């Protein structure tokens, strides 16, 4: 009896700790399920898995009209746009292997996430050089910092989505009918 109690208690603890994560990575399989059920991707709330930092160097004249955070580093003005981990975003457009996600309002203020080899959607850039990804954001050119290059799309885990229950009540069968 004591062994059964310990096993049961251990199982409950395992289930409790394994279900703590509220978000999961958005995969191609999930996207296929959405398409199969005629659900629109722009109704899904997305989140980024890591902090994303966009950076660009500015001339002194540009600093007067720049938005975001501006720092003076090594004799240059630098503008950073920081998208903290777990920032909510929405899909603004999509293609066969990519989804454009906006984390703020405004025209051309989105980042592209492309399907990677693990079937997950990872932040992308037009060109990568020494770990920095070149992107166009709000009509300006920024560089994704190397530590942000592995950011993935996540969605809130909904256990009901994964659990399909089919119930059928039988009335029984009698002889002769």
Dmax (CA) for the chain in angstroms is 96
Question: Any residues with CB less than 8 A from the CB of 48 and at least 6 apart, and which?
Answer: 83, 85, 86, 87, 89, 101, 103, 123, 151, 152, 153, 154
Question: Any residues with CB less than 8 A from the CB of 66 and at least 6 apart, and which?
Answer: 58, 77, 79
Count of domains in the chain?
A: 1
DSSP bridge partners of 164: none
DSSP bridge partners of 112: 100
Q: Is 126 a domain residue?
A: yes
Question: pTM of this prediction?
Answer: 0.71
Q: What is the per-residue pLDDT for 65?
A: 45
- pLDDT tens digits for 133-148? 999 999 899 999 999 9
Q: Is 117 a domain residue?
A: yes
Q: Is 94 a domain residue?
A: yes
Q: Is 128 a domain residue?
A: yes
> Between residues 85 and 161, which one has the greater pLDDT?
85
Question: Any residues with CB less than 8 A from the CB of 138 and at least 6 apart, and which?
Answer: 106, 107, 108, 109
- pLDDT tens digits for 112-139? 999 999 999 999 999 999 999 999 999 8
Say whether 42 sits in a helix, a strand or coil: helix
Domain limits for position 98: 22-49+86-158
């Amino acid at each position: 009896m004591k062994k059964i109690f310990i096993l049961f208690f251990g199982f409950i603890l395992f289930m409790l700790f394994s279900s703590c994560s509220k978000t999961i990575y958005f995969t191609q399989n999930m996207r296929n399920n959405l398409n199969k059920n005629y659900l629109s991707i722009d109704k899904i709330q997305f989140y980024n898995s890591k902090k994303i930092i966009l950076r660009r160097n500015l001339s002194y004249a540009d600093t007067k009209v720049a938005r975001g955070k501006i720092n003076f580093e090594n004799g240059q003005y630098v503008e950073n746009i920081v998208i903290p981990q777990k920032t909510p975003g929405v899909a603004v457009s999509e293609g066969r292997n990519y989804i454009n996600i906006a984390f703020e309002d405004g025209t051309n203020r989105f980042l592209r996430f492309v399907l990677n080899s693990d079937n997950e959607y990872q932040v992308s850039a037009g060109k990568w050089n020494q770990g920095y990804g070149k992107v166009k954001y709000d009509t300006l050119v920024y560089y994704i910092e190397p530590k942000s290059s592995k950011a993935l799309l996540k969605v809130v885990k909904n256990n009901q989505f994964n659990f399909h229950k089919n119930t059928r009540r039988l009335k029984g069968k009698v002889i002769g009918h």
